[in-house]
Structure 1
């Protein structure tokens, strides 16, 4: 594994500036993508905003030389080999189809599409191509999550029995908080689950190697009417005190999910975007027959490891103390905290190593389109369960 780590870093360090990338979307996440790519040494050729004016403003602020007026213009640029899609969810499907048709690699934000029918089609298109296709589930690439993945594969936790946790935020607590994700026609019928719940499902499935087979879900919308500002609002920004329009909300503020896994393990997770004081708290605990482990995104450099017959442990992120998978994801010395933006850097480093090599590695750590499709099937089951008030299976032949 140490040899693989060295090769990974050498591959992406052997001339990434020759790889040209473009980013669709100039909001919060689009900006994070651009900054991570810059840090990696990737040539960010241009950006595509919701309008040419917004694109030009973002390009100037980010120091990017070009703003495209349309996706067609972007894809006619021979300098672009890979496209990052960070636009609102409603545009992912058609944009990704067009990018694949132009023979470009693609990194798409989650959720992959608005429906599982769309995501299934993208899986087929990706399989027929020789392109690198990834979904941006960046939380896999916090180094201690990579470390936990190897702990599971090396049977340090034993048989996985219970997976629990939460993903809580407070940025949509007030009725004056607004974002396009609130609108079902732009973000999809599931909001909290689709936006952050899929991160938790993907991460815990990745660490344990287990897929959810059945769900029992309860969804709640506590803020049923919100004040939509006249004009655009950036993600996580304050709506302000300007003119607003009252809008009825149908998407979920919170979700309570019970989960059954393919090995017989059980799970539960609370998802919320209206929990005061929880800025971005993603917590998981995985309990096995030998040991347990727990992690929290707001203190990402510490992994709790629990034991029955000896003292519990706190592992602080330090490549010298971590297993090979965790060390590969780490970029800074121990004690120098690696956070949200660093997870994008580690994720893109692996993706661009595969782009540089011209093919996907045999077992990539990043989420594939198939993983993104699986998350859409889970979302389908969550919706059906909430509507019917019962357990709903995820059919194996759908996965």
Structure 2
């Protein structure tokens, strides 16, 4: 492997912070990277939390001040996994300091902020990445290839869903996700469904051009942790009907009160010659229906992930042994590092993150107006 180091500064050590740290560690061992990531510094809410997380995740140094990390000349990439409302301030500070920036989704809860972030990065010439690691699944790449190659014929319909139940209990406390600056279920989970829809159908059906939204708040108040309650103004469920450029129609849903669903990121694609079906709960499989099958032999058949579906073979030489969630982040990290080294375009940069937030805002606006909304 190359000895050229890329020094990583991570802000936040929660669920996604750990996933990013694991992704860097795994990517450096699985892929022949053009740059070797070095876990240089971790910033968290205070010095004690930062030091504890840095020791656990393998970072050389720690700080309780994210601003010190951003301006540190020893940091090459600022990796943001802090609450959504802080993404803009942190990213703009990092860009101003000339750092590459890797930010978890959503890029920003407001499209105008996401645009400012994208334009700042482009003006400065730094490389950016937004964390949509579900798109790194080899089964997604296979589905996209099959759709683009015409194996499904003309695309007619799409259904996408991302549902979880971590907000299903009405007594669970108010968090940063419930604040209007956090975005709501559509931005938090529905963004994955929207990104998947355009990733898969883009080559064949074009982008989403019109939306009809229906966003609802199911739990209107939540405990504030101080003996009282706080009003919830964001959506618990966000749904939308979609129209694609080629005339295909579809729907997506983001739902964080889906009782019993710990992780459901599913899609179905329907064409004139066939169909595809996928569920994240079995994300090493893709189900394909061909209309050309003989009568009495028709049905969905399972395609199982294996070394023929790159980069699966770099993780395991045997089919059916399966990749995991953190492996998808390692694939995402590898793609981003290749972009920083100018070996490929940025896989999902801030401009792409802006596109998803633009769709989210169009759906919210459509829901408020109870009318179809054009998407630029």
Q: What is the TM-score normalised by the length of structure 2?
A: 0.90
Q: Does 2:178 match 1:206?
A: no
| CA distance in structure 2 between the aligned counterparts of 1:102 and 1:70, rounded to whole angstroms | 16
**In the alignment, which residue of structure 2 is the partner of 1:7?**
none
Q: Does 2:20 match 1:33?
A: yes
**In the alignment, which residue of structure 2 is the partner of 1:375?**
356
SS in 2 for 1:187: coil
Contact residue 216 and residue 257 of structure 1 kept, 8 A? yes
Contact residue 142 and residue 329 of structure 1 kept, 8 A? no
| CA distance in structure 2 between the aligned counterparts of 1:110 and 1:14, rounded to whole angstroms | 30
Q: Does 2:142 match 1:155?
A: no
Contact residue 198 and residue 375 of structure 1 kept, 8 A? yes
**In the alignment, which residue of structure 1 is the partner of 2:284?**
301
| CA distance in structure 2 between the aligned counterparts of 1:80 and 1:179, rounded to whole angstroms | 34
Contact residue 338 and residue 344 of structure 2 kept, 8 A? no
Offset of residue 125 of structure 1: 1.8
1:235-254 aligned within 5 A = 244-254=227-237
| CA distance in structure 1 between the aligned counterparts of 2:313 and 2:343, rounded to whole angstroms | 18
Q: Which moved more, 1:195-204 or 1:217-226?
A: 217-226
Offset of residue 274 of structure 1: 1.0
1:1-399 aligned within 5 A = 13-15=1-3, 18-41=5-28, 42-178=37-173, 180-188=175-183, 191-209=184-202, 210-229=206-225, 244-310=227-293, 311=298, 312-320=300-308, 322=309, 326-327=310-311, 331-332=315-316, 333-355=318-340, 357=341, 359=342, 361-362=344-345, 364=346, 366-395=347-376
| CA distance in structure 2 between the aligned counterparts of 1:170 and 1:212, rounded to whole angstroms | 27
Contact residue 318 and residue 327 of structure 1 kept, 8 A? no
Offset of residue 328 of structure 1: 6.4
Contact residue 186 and residue 239 of structure 2 kept, 8 A? no
RMSD: 1.9
Contact residue 21 and residue 80 of structure 1 kept, 8 A? yes
Contact residue 306 and residue 312 of structure 2 kept, 8 A? no
Q: Deviation per CA, 1:111-144, whole angstroms, max 9, x where unpaired?
A: 1112111111222222223322111111101110
**Compared CA separation, residues 150 and 144, structure 1 to 2 (3 A):** same
Offset of residue 303 of structure 1: 0.1
| CA distance in structure 2 between the aligned counterparts of 1:186 and 1:120, rounded to whole angstroms | 16
Contact residue 39 and residue 58 of structure 2 kept, 8 A? no
| CA distance in structure 1 between the aligned counterparts of 2:149 and 2:282, rounded to whole angstroms | 25
Q: What is the TM-score normalised by the length of structure 1?
A: 0.85
| CA distance in structure 2 between the aligned counterparts of 1:223 and 1:245, rounded to whole angstroms | 15
Contact residue 163 and residue 285 of structure 1 kept, 8 A? yes
Q: How many residues align?
A: 359
| CA distance in structure 2 between the aligned counterparts of 1:118 and 1:156, rounded to whole angstroms | 39
Q: Deviation per CA, 1:313-363, whole angstroms, max 9, x where unpaired?
A: 21000123x4xxx446863232222121111011111111222x2x2624x
Q: Which moved more, 1:196-205 or 1:54-63?
A: 54-63
Offset of residue 59 of structure 1: 1.5
Offset of residue 44 of structure 1: 0.8
Offset of residue 371 of structure 1: 1.1
**Compared CA separation, residues 57 and 104, structure 1 to 2 (3 A):** same
| CA distance in structure 1 between the aligned counterparts of 2:50 and 2:277, rounded to whole angstroms | 41
Contact residue 330 and residue 346 of structure 1 kept, 8 A? no
Offset of residue 75 of structure 1: 2.9
Q: Which moved more, 1:123-132 or 1:386-395?
A: 123-132
| CA distance in structure 2 between the aligned counterparts of 1:24 and 1:113, rounded to whole angstroms | 16
Contact residue 168 and residue 282 of structure 1 kept, 8 A? yes
Offset of residue 199 of structure 1: 0.7
| CA distance in structure 2 between the aligned counterparts of 1:292 and 1:103, rounded to whole angstroms | 46
| CA distance in structure 1 between the aligned counterparts of 2:371 and 2:313, rounded to whole angstroms | 40
